[in-house]
Structure 1
Amino acid sequence: MARLSDIIEEFIKQLLQDNDESELQIQRNELANYFRCAPSQINYVLTTRFTTDRGYYVESKRGGGGCIIIKHVDFNHDKRLMQAVNLQIGDSITFDKSIKIINYLQENNLVSEREAYIMKVAINDRSLSLLQENKNTFRAELLKNMLSVLSV
């Protein structure tokens, strides 16, 4: 049986598809009432499943009942997402977080299976084993450089 988080994620993705837009406005409390869960459960899904490394931008609007805006952005067509990913990478990134970004690129046909494999090998701990310190810093720079080539 699917977990509630999975069900909420699929529901939101279906709303995005049905909307035929790359943007969706939802009320967090209404969604929580619909699923009979706490609003914090909705926040959890949004912060863990709708991240920039998966191609989403989430904005929270306060006042007037408030709403959440979820945007699905294509890497190739929006340089702002590339900038957001670079900000998320920051000065340091773990191998696991890097893999999520690369998997997103592959799932959205922005890199081939072979290119994804090469990227993963280049940033794994074994490849960086000669570095005694700052593996995550080096990995971040390496990943940013690979992504910058993709955005051309």
Structure 2
Amino acid sequence: MTSKNTSDSIEAYIKQILAQSGFAEIKRSVLADNFSVVPSQINYVIKTRFTESRGYAVESKRGGGGYIRIAKIRFSDQHQMLNNLEMTIGEQISDQVFTDIIQLLFDEKIISEQEGNLILAASCDEVLGDDGPKIRARMLRRILQRLDRKG
């Protein structure tokens, strides 16, 4: 049996809210109290697990009535999603963001698990070397273009 750490539990809780209503509007301090953590732990979970490359939009308002609003990004079709992802790619892309995007493509049933694992195996820093971030960006751009033609 696998044990969940606090970050996993916070992520699962937020995803449960998202599944019920399509968006989650939370107060950082209330959520921190519920999980007996400091508010920075909530920030960490949101910054690392609810990113644009994972398919989420996050809006934050600070202050007394502050909140964090998280929503799953919905696209009208696969073409729009692939184009949107391609437009966000700069000259370089980190291994983590690349992995997040490949995971998103799998979650959206655009690629298979086997295809995703092969892409990830070929794109790690160990294989690509010092120019990994630049090569990964070019690689991802071409993958998205190919998938757009396929769809």
Which residue of the partner structure matches residue 26 of structure 2? 26
Question: Which residue of 136, 140, 146 corresponds with 2:143?
Answer: 146
Q: Secondary structure at the match of 2:69?
A: strand
Task: Report the TM-score when normalising by structure 2.
Answer: 0.76
Which residue of the partner structure matches residue 17 of structure 2? 15
Which residue of the partner structure matches residue 2 of structure 1? 4
Unaligned runs of 5+ in 1: none
Q: Secondary structure at the match of 2:4?
A: coil
Which residue of the partner structure matches residue 108 of structure 2? 108
Question: CA offset at residue 94 of structure 1?
Answer: 3.5
Whole-Å separation in 1 of the counterparts to 2:48 and 2:133: 21
Whether the aligned pair in 1 keeps the contact of 2:86 and 2:144 (CA below 8 Å) is: no
Question: CA offset at residue 55 of structure 1?
Answer: 1.2
Task: Summarize the alignment of residues 84-99 of structure 1 with structure 2, pairs less than 5 Å apart.
Answer: 86-87=87-88, 89-99=89-99
Question: CA offset at residue 70 of structure 1?
Answer: 0.3
Which residue of the partner structure matches residue 72 of structure 2? 72
Residue type of the partner of 2:141? K
Percent of paired sites with the same residue: 39
Which residue of the partner structure matches residue 55 of structure 1? 55
Whether the aligned pair in 1 keeps the contact of 2:59 and 2:68 (CA below 8 Å) is: yes
Question: CA offset at residue 135 of structure 1?
Answer: 3.4
Q: Secondary structure at the match of 1:25?
A: strand
The root-mean-square deviation of aligned C-alpha atoms, in Å, is: 2.9
Distance 1:75 1:102, change over 3 A: farther
Task: Report the TM-score when normalising by structure 1.
Answer: 0.76
Whether the aligned pair in 2 keeps the contact of 1:55 and 1:75 (CA below 8 Å) is: no
Distance 1:100 1:136, change over 3 A: same
Please say which of residues 95-104 and 114-123 is displaced more in the overlay. Answer: 114-123
Q: Secondary structure at the match of 2:25?
A: strand
Distance 1:75 1:117, change over 3 A: farther
Residue type of the partner of 2:11? E
Structure 1 residue runs of 4+, over 6 Å off?
none
Which residue of the partner structure matches residue 84 of structure 2? 83
Whether the aligned pair in 2 keeps the contact of 1:55 and 1:81 (CA below 8 Å) is: no
Cα deviation code 1:85-125 (max 9, x no counterpart): 753x4211234542332122113312123432453355345
Alignment of 1:134 onto 2:146: no
Distance 1:43 1:24, change over 3 A: same
> Aligned pair count?
146
